[in-house]
Amino acid sequence: MSQQQPLISHLLELRNRLLRATASVLIVFLAIVYWAKDIYHYMAVPLLKALPSGGTMIATDVAAPFFAPFKLTLVLAFFIAIPYVLYQIWAFVAPGLYKHEKRLISPLLFSSTILFYLGICFAYYVVFPLVFGFFANASPEGVQVATDINSYLNFVLKLFFAFGLAFEIPIAVVLLCWAGVTSPEDLKAQRPYIIVGAFVVGMLLTPPDVISQTMLAVPMLLLFEGGLFAARFYSKKADKDDEEVEDGEENP
């Protein structure tokens, strides 16, 4: 019975953390849902600018003009609430970490949030204009470009998540090196395979065009190099030494 009590308390705390994270997303959503149509229009600007004269967006489903902005606003609410969602995750796992682990995780949580936002901004301001311009100019003569609003939304959300996650590569490299799974030296030796892997991932996560594939693969490689540089400051041996010092302080 004594072993069940801690488990139940942990499950209750996990439930409370998940409820708070969900509530934060809903609160943000309710705060911005009034501007759902404006938000969707802002998201459609890169495509609208690339369309030829007379090109427009269409809705092939009766409910699409309502649900597409609604869906986009809900996803945007999640993006905005990510710092608080990550804080809830951090608050749940923090009591079980050593001091040196807390010193590592705190900056990583902050960095991962910033990198995710940077990935989304890179996709919107750099990738979208080039990709949509390429698609618009690649259409055969006599073909009028008319993109469905649901198809466009799914397309941009896929790219947002792809670039947002790709920009987390430095965090993944640091965590792998810190956990002792690999080391910066081993990763350097595997660099040729990682270069090939980056372009394969770019091919799988982006539309079938060379521009978007390359614009995802190249930042992934640069971020990988940045992760290698940052991983040098996190040594598994040093962390073990810190852990032994902390254990010695707690048990003199």
Closest CA to 163 of 200, 195, 116, 213: 116
Mean pLDDT confidence for 170-190: 81
What does pTM read for this prediction? 0.79
Contacts of 115 (CB under 8 A, 6+ apart): 167, 168, 170, 171, 223
3-state helix, strand, coil in the chain (%, to 5): 80, 0, 15
Could you tell me the residue ranges of all domains in the chain?
4-250
Distance CA 52, CA 40 (A): 20
Q: pLDDT confidence of 235, banded at 50, 70, 90?
A: low
Reply yes or no on whether the pLDDT at 5 is more than 60.
no
Q: Provide the pLDDT for residue 100.
A: 66
What are 55-73's pLDDT values in tens digits?
678 888 888 888 899 999 9
